[in-house]
Homo-oligomer: A and B are copies of this chain.
C-alpha cells in the first residue's frame, strides 16, 4: 500500500456540524460550552482520507490540528535503513497534532478510511488561549497518552512475542467498535476487525511479519481466537488470552 503525499487542507466540507458529531462528548471539544463549540465549528474543515494517506511527516512542518471522527491513524518513526516503529495508535475522539512545535515529531498515516475534523493551527491556538479549560483538557489527553506510551515501553522492552500479541489483541479489542455479533456466538466472545495488517502489527510490537503470523496461527490452533479471513477476529477464550499477556518466567 503506497503512501501518498500529505493532503491539501484547503479543500473541505463544512456541511457537518459539531452538534451531531459522534465523538463530541469524548473528544477534547467535550470540555467546551455550547457557544465555544459553535466558534470551533466555524474553523473546522472535514477531511475524508483513504487508507495509506499520509497526514503528517516526521520533521516536516504541520499547519493544522485534528480530531479523529472515525477510522484509525498510526504514528510512526523510522530509522535511516527503513526499520519502522509505530509509536502510537489513534482512534476516534483522539486528538492529532503536536502543540507548541512547528515540526511534527513523527509520521501520521491513515490506517483505515479516516474522517478528520481539522483546524488551522494558528486559528486553533487562538481559541485554545481564549477558551477556559480547553488547554486543560488537551493537557489531560497528553498525560493519558504518556501513560499509554510508557505501558508500551514495558511491552517493547520486556515482553515475549506471545505476550506482545496477546496484549495487542486485547488493547485493540478494547478500542475497536465491535461488529454485530451475528450467529449464535457467546456475547463474551467479542468480534472485531483488525485495523492493522500483519506488517503493521509487527511494526507496532517490534517484531517481524513472520513472527506475528506464527503467533496468531498459534492462538488460532489453541482455539483462543478465531479468524474469519485475515482481518475479522473473534476472542474465543478471553481469560486465557488475558493470562497470556503476562506469563510468569520464574
Contact = CB atoms under 8 A, between A and B. Distances in A.
A157 B156 contact: yes
Nearest to A129: B136
A4 to B, nearest CB: 23
Given A84-B158, A157-B85, A149 B149 contact: yes
Nearest to A245: B79
A135 B134 CA distance: 12
B250 A143 contact: no
B157 A205 contact: yes
A152 B83 CA distance: 14
A50 interface: no
B150 A106 contact: yes
A152 B153 contact: yes
Contact of A139 (B142, B154, B250): B142
Interface string A84-102: 1101100000000011110
A158 B85 contact: yes
B81 A248 contact: yes
Given A81-B250, A105-B150, A98 B143 contact: yes
A8 interface: no
A237 interface: no
A95 to B, nearest CB: 12
A126 interface: no
**Most chain B beta-carbon contacts within 10 A, residue among A138, A142, A250:** A142
Contacts of A105: 147, 150
Interface of A: 75, 77, 79-85, 87-88, 98-101, 105-106, 135-136, 138-140, 142-143, 145-147, 149-154, 156-159, 203, 205-206, 246-250
Given A85-B153, A100-B140, A139-B142, 7 more contacts: A80-B248, A98-B143, A106-B150, A135-B135, A146-B149, A156-B156, A158-B206
